[in-house]
Amino acid sequence: MTQAKVYVLCVFSIFGITLSGFAQIDGRESTHGRKMIRAVRTETPPTVDGNLNEEAWQAASVALGFVQRDPQEGQPSTEKTDFRILYTSTTLYVGIRSYDSSPAGILANDRQRDSSLGNDDTITIVLDTFHDHRNTYVFRTNPLGTQYDAIVTDEGRTVNANWDERWDVAARVHGQGWSAEFAIPFKSLRMTEENEHVWGLDLERVIRRKNESSSWNNFRRGFQLESASQSGHLTGIEGIESGLRLRVKPYILGGFSHTSNRLQSQLCRDADAANNYCNASAVGVEDLKWLITPSLTADFTANTDFAQTDVDNQRVNLDRFPLFFSERREFFQEGAGVFEFGISEGENRGSAAMKLFHSRRIGLSPRRLPVPIVAGGRLTGRLQGFTLGLLNVQTERFEPENIRASNYSVARIKRDVLGRSSVGAFFLNREQSGIDDYNRVYGADANFVFFRYFSVGGFLGKSSFPRPAGDSGDDWVTAGSIRWDSDTLNLETSWRVVDPKFRDDLGFVPRTDVRFFSSQLALKPRIDGRIIRQLVFRFRNDYTMNQQNELVTRRNHSGFEMFFQDGSYFGYIPHTHFECLEEPFALREGVVEIPPGCHSWWRNGFRYAPNPSKRVSGRIINYAHHMGYWGSGTLHNFSFSPRLRLTDQFSAQIRYQINKATFPGTVCVDKTQNKCGFTDHVINTRINFNLNNQWLTSTTIQYNSADNFWGFNFRLNYIFRPGDDFFLIYNEGRTGDDPFTTDPARRHNDRTLLAKFTYSFDY
């Protein structure tokens, strides 16, 4: 059995190389390098104010000819767009004019830094500085000059929007439309050490009221803007200074917290035991960045603090496996794409089925409380044709949950092969101090892409940890996928096998002892109509067995979706579920306990989201009705998550979810009842009020009736210069059987007020 697993990656390689010999199935001409623009050097840098009237701009070459991706692929954009590129020895300048026949219809409402700006008119720039046709930097703005930036790995496999670097942009609306000026310092990018550079380049314009997107070069629907293999070329950049060699970014933190929770009070080093008062002052190094070469970067952090990190959304777990929470901390987000290995989950899948490396296992406890980080280091970049990633973090002992001091290490190496493919290896290690306990996971992965839309990938891994003599084996994991994914057709199959004793202390592995198989077919015809843009007919089957080939879970997912010309959406999503339990499962402690055996039920779901250009957008309706839930119950799920856009300074995202379940007395913990159940109310509301693009505030209000939790978070962020901030954060949380009771035995009340200041020194 083990020997068969070793052959998995070889099979992928042979299959992929065989396929590469066939003629291209898609048959359409590639857009790669279809257009080219030459940057013009200037000794007089333009003023970044949104006006393109300086003399330097008049000397630059003008690029035209934006082509629609939506709604009419390949047709000229309905509104004219042009751009120019200048550079000095230190900075790249891009000036764009977005003409509009109806300037009053231009939409610009979002000032929140790193918002996706999905409800506004936008201009996006994509730079492939290594010209490897895989990895890109993304810079986006709207007519208010709001900044969004991201690092994209492997043509969209990983999009890291928490990457923040120093760059500037200004925009203005005028009688002919709107214009924008970008200033991107070369020291904010990573690139080769060549004197003359050729980069991949593309630009996208979105006209929100028309739900129209057009690109300078890559307009094919089967690709995203981030698909660097389809971009145009930027030439003429030479004799530049990458500039930055060393950046030191210290921080100062001051504040206090007060808690009635004995567990929380143990988090403080300097506390008043009588009043549970905690002094939260600290000083540390948020990031020390050293550019070893223009393409290889080392980062160090000490006494790390994440006070400014957004709070997790409240969620209720209605499954028997743990919930997945994404990484939000800046230090672990930068360069995160390098440490992604394995296979992507494919279209319409969650990203949390399994992750061999999940950075939230470092510095956060199982209860999502911060575990003190002593220091950490990271090395990422490219060297001699290889992509490298090294990470090492040391944490302190965490008394409240009896977590020992630990050292975490991750090593990653990857080599690009063929046009858009790669092979690599990885190693994970956790060592706990004071005891003979460790966990190591190592393996290899491969991802091949052919025919533009066809991909074959997989990985193989093995875990190692202290075990009794003679106890070996059953500690492997393997997965693979074969996928065709274009704008009109998605056809795929995937599988995943996790042995019973596989252990991964640095990953998210919700289930072991499983053999999972999945297949999906989605037909996505385009409709040349005035109302409907595209229909999607989808069917997917997920089949999970244990190592004895006994069925434990089967889910059939169906879907019918309509995407309208104005950007609105409707979906009907029916599913069937089948689950087998070997032991009782407490769906809700003290209320409902599901007995062992096999259970099946039917789920009907409806979703609707209106035109995103309207003042009320978001998913207005998301309803699901589970009939025969766990064999005998009924469950109604309803969520309401509109986005309210009142002005360009004020917006609110409201999410209200209700779970109402009813069961007959046979599954009630209290057998004297004829029936039982529960009703959950979950609220996650975020209110943004931004005075301008530098003074930003967000207020989060949360409620979770299942955990009897109320939460309030206020964050003021003053960006006094790009990359450096002042934060003022206030948190309050109340937990207990009754959040409003005065009985301290039934109520925990936590308050925190913090101020944090960062300032970078560049050398």
Please indicate, yes or no, whether residues 323 and 217 belong to a single structural domain of this protein.
Answer: no
pLDDT for res 133:
86
Examine residue 55 and state whether it is found in any structural domain, yes or no. yes
pLDDT for res 282:
86
Distances (CA, A) of 712 to 57, 310, 311, 557, 688: 48, 12, 10, 37, 14
Domain boundary (195, 212, 238) is at: 238
pLDDT for res 557:
94
Please indicate, yes or no, whether residues 82 and 186 belong to a single structural domain of this protein.
Answer: yes
pLDDT for res 262:
54
pLDDT for res 260:
66
C-alpha angle 624-625-630 in degrees, rounded to nearest 5? 115
Whether residue 230 contacts residue 32, with contact meaning beta carbons closer than 8 Å, is answered with: yes
pLDDT for res 244:
67
Q: Which residues of the chain have pLDDT under 70?
A: 1-30, 243-244, 260-277, 342-352, 736-748
Backbone angles phi, psi at 557, to 5 degrees: -105, 125
Whether residue 522 contacts residue 534, with contact meaning beta carbons closer than 8 Å, is answered with: no
Backbone angles phi, psi at 348, to 5 degrees: 65, 25
b/e for 165-191, b at 16 or more Cβ within 10 A? bbbbbbbebeeebbbbbbbbbbbbbbb
Please indicate, yes or no, whether residues 79 and 221 belong to a single structural domain of this protein.
Answer: yes
pLDDT for res 267:
52
Please indicate, yes or no, whether residues 337 and 212 belong to a single structural domain of this protein.
Answer: no
Examine residue 490 and state whether it is found in any structural domain, yes or no. yes
Instruction: Take residue 49 and report the two structure tokens written for it.
Output: 């104010």
b/e for 576-586, b at 16 or more Cβ within 10 A? ebbbbeeeebe
* CATH number assigned to the domain comprising residue 176: 2.60.40.1190
pLDDT for res 24:
37
Whether residue 196 contacts residue 49, with contact meaning beta carbons closer than 8 Å, is answered with: no
Q: How far apart are CA 688 and CA 111, in angstroms?
A: 9
Examine residue 686 and state whether it is found in any structural domain, yes or no. no
* Pairing status of strand 592-594 against strand 597-609: unpaired
Please indicate, yes or no, whether residues 204 and 322 belong to a single structural domain of this protein.
Answer: no
C-alpha angle 419-423-424 in degrees, rounded to nearest 5? 145
DSSP string of 568-626? -EEEE--EEEEEEESS-EEEETTTEEEPSEEEEEEEEEEEEE--TTSSEEEEEEEEEEE
Examine residue 290 and state whether it is found in any structural domain, yes or no. no
Please indicate, yes or no, whether residues 319 and 225 belong to a single structural domain of this protein.
Answer: no
Q: How far apart are CA 52 and CA 248, in angstroms?
A: 35
Please indicate, yes or no, whether residues 233 and 338 belong to a single structural domain of this protein.
Answer: no
Whether residue 578 contacts residue 553, with contact meaning beta carbons closer than 8 Å, is answered with: yes
Distances (CA, A) of 266 to 276, 370, 452, 627: 9, 12, 55, 46
Please indicate, yes or no, whether residues 199 and 50 belong to a single structural domain of this protein.
Answer: yes
Whether residue 618 contacts residue 660, with contact meaning beta carbons closer than 8 Å, is answered with: no
Question: How many domains does the chain contain in total?
Answer: 2
Domain boundary (205, 238, 271) is at: 238
Whether residue 524 contacts residue 536, with contact meaning beta carbons closer than 8 Å, is answered with: yes
DSSP string of 32-64? TTS-EEE-EE-SSPPP-SS---SHHHHTS--B-
Examine residue 695 and state whether it is found in any structural domain, yes or no. no
Q: What's the whole-model pTM score?
A: 0.83
Please indicate, yes or no, whether residues 230 and 328 belong to a single structural domain of this protein.
Answer: no
Instruction: Residue 332: give the domain boundaries.
Output: 315-518
pLDDT for res 402:
86
Side chain identity at residue 187, one-letter code: K
Instruction: Give the E-state strand segments of 239-372 in sequence order.
Output: 246-259, 271-272, 277-279, 282-293, 296-304
Domain boundary (238, 261, 285) is at: 238
Please indicate, yes or no, whether residues 204 and 353 belong to a single structural domain of this protein.
Answer: no
Examine residue 411 and state whether it is found in any structural domain, yes or no. yes
Please indicate, yes or no, whether residues 82 and 198 belong to a single structural domain of this protein.
Answer: yes
Examine residue 401 and state whether it is found in any structural domain, yes or no. yes
Examine residue 21 and state whether it is found in any structural domain, yes or no. no
Please indicate, yes or no, whether residues 231 and 325 belong to a single structural domain of this protein.
Answer: no
Side chain identity at residue 467, one-letter code: R
